[in-house]
Amino acid sequence: MDRIKVLIADDHAVLREGTRQILEQEQDIEVVAEAGDGEEAVSLAARFRPDVAIIDISMPILDGIEATKQIKELYPGISVLILTAYDDDQFIFSLLEAGAAGYLLKSVRGQELIDAVRAVHAGESVLHPSVARKVLNHFVPHSDKAESVQPENTLSDREMEVLRLVTRGLSNKDIAEELCLSMRTVQAHLGRIFDKLQVSSRTEAMVRALKEGWVTIKDLP
């Protein structure tokens, strides 16, 4: 079984060590590098090409927002999971726009962090419900009369259906039932959506759909 390669970036050594200990108890996860600042995180991402980068916001030299942006621009296949003490709106929106796939607070339990690493590696969205609501309120067009904009030459009608259901928070299983498709077909559609939008997670796809106006307030529950 291929293990999920993880990079941990936090300027507190004790927190890095604790995170490493939690993750390395799992047979399917391997911590390949640790960074004490944002610049080192980008450098180690280039060297080790982790599957998942766990990044704090407050770091010297480069903060978590800039480190995330650079990692996603250089290596879009790396999934970035934010693990931080900050839940301010400005940080949440900036990090999601930079390409983060998940946003967790440091108050989470160890098992929640483990589950989140597996989830973002699988392309799933990891957002606390309150954070998810903030994202929708921030990015979605607010007018009830707003019309969805069809992305020209980007996604097929079926792919748009899948993307709208992703934005509503439905799982692959729920999407399959909603559209009367197999799980494998849904996964194939998601793979093509990610490729076309040049993203690596549901979160990135959702933010892109909301920002572009492909999904409006009427499409959401």
Q: What is the pLDDT of residue 130?
A: 64
Q: What is the pLDDT of residue 143?
A: 47
From the centroid of its chain, how far is CA 12? 23
* DSSP codes of every residue in 51-113: SEEEE-S--SSS-HHHHHHHHHHH-TTSEEEEEES---HHHHHHHHHHT-SEEEETTS-HHHH
Q: Identify the residue whose tokens are 């959702």.
A: 206
User: Could you tell me the domains of the chain?
Assistant: 4-136 (3.40.50.2300), 141-219 (1.10.10.10)
Q: What is the pLDDT of residue 220?
A: 60
* Global confidence as pTM: 0.78
Which residues of the chain, if any, have pLDDT below 50?
143-146
pLDDT in tens, 48-69: 999 999 999 999 999 999 999 9
Q: What is the pLDDT of residue 80?
A: 94
Distance CA 110, CA 63 (A): 24
